[in-house]
Amino acid sequence: MPRGPLDSSKIPRFAGPATFARLPRLDEVGRADVAVVGVPFDSGVSYRPGARFGPAAVREASRLLRPYHPGLDVAPFETVQVADAGDIACNPFNIDEAVETIAASAAAIDARLVTIGGDHTIALPLLRAVAAEHGPVALLHFDAHLDTWDTYFGAEYTHGTPFRRAVEEGIVDTSALSHVGIRGPLYGKRDLEEDRRLGFGILTSRDVMRRGVDEVVDALRQRIGERPLYVSVDIDVLDPAHAPGTGTPEAGGLTSRELLEILRGLAGCRIVGADVVEVAPAYDHAEITSVAASHVAYDLVSLLALESP
C-alpha cells in the first residue's frame, strides 16, 4: 500500500515539512514508482537569475494540492508510491560539472522523475539519463522560446541551448520533436530554419489560441505515437499574467488552463520523465507562478501514475 501525503484533517496544510504535496521523503519509503526531485541550479540563465529557488517555492505552493485528480480520474498517491527525492546538489560555479552531476544523480534514482528546476539547462542531463535507459525519446517542449540556439558567449551549455545539444548527442528521436507555445521576437528567420533542420515541429501560442486545445492535442499525439516521451515545461510558456515569476517573460502566452488541458490530453502516452523549470520566485506576485508550476508538476505525476502497471 503506497504511503501518501500527510492527512490535512489532522495536520494543517501550513504545518509540517515542505515536501512536494506533503508526500513522504524517498528515504522514508525506501523505493518509489515516481519521484519528485529538485535541481536548484540557475547558472545557465541569460537574463534574470533566481530559478535556483524554484524547487523550494514550488514545494511550498504544493501544500494545497489534494490527493484526487478529477480531470484525469486518478488518485496518484494511492495508485503508485510517489515520494520527494529532495534536491540534486550541483556546482553553481561550473556548468559542465553541474550537467554531469545532474545526469549521474538522476540516473541513480530508481524511479520515473518529475524534476523541478532550476533553469532549462537541466533538461539536457535529464534527457541523457532517460535516453540511457530508453534510447532516443520523443520530446514535447512547452516554452516561449526555442532553446535550440548554438551558444551564448561561446558557452555550449546554457538554458537556451539544451535541445540543440540533445539532437547533436542523438538522445532524442528527431521524428518526434515538438515545441508548444513559442512566441515573441527572434534573432532572425534563421532561428526558425535551423530549428526546423534539427527536426522540430512548432505549435505557437497563436496556434493554440486559434486551433484550440483538442486539435493541438491530436496533432501532438500523432507526432508522438507510441514512442517513449519526455515532457519539458518551461513555466514561461504561460503568459506573464499567469506566470510573472520567471527569468525571460514574453507577452501573448498560454493560460494555465490551456497548458493543463494539453497535458491532460497526453493520458495514455508513454511518458518516461518530465521537468518543470524556470520558476524564479523573486519575481513572483502572490505565488502565482509557483502555484501554476505546482499544478503542472501534479498533472505530470498523475499522468505517470496512470501509466504504471
Q: What is the pLDDT of residues 141-165, one digit of tens each?
A: 999 999 999 999 999 999 999 999 9
DSSP-assigned letters across all residues of 180-203: EEE-S--S-HHHHHHHHHHTEEEE
pLDDT digits (tens, 9 = 90+) for 208-265: 999 999 999 999 999 999 999 999 999 999 999 999 999 999 999 999 999 999 999 9
Return the bridge partners of 182, or none. 204
pTM recorded for the entire structure:
0.98
Coil, strand, or helix at residue 239? Answer: coil
Spatial neighbors of 138 by CB under 8 A, at least 6 apart, are 172, 173, 176, 177, 223, 224, 225, 227, 228, 229, 230
Measured CA to CA, the distance from residue 269 to residue 221 in angstroms comes to 8
Measured CA to CA, the distance from residue 218 to residue 240 in angstroms comes to 26
Domains of the chain from N-terminus onward? 20-306 (3.40.800.10)
Measured CA to CA, the distance from residue 168 to residue 75 in angstroms comes to 39
Q: How far is CA 147 from the centre of its chain?
A: 14
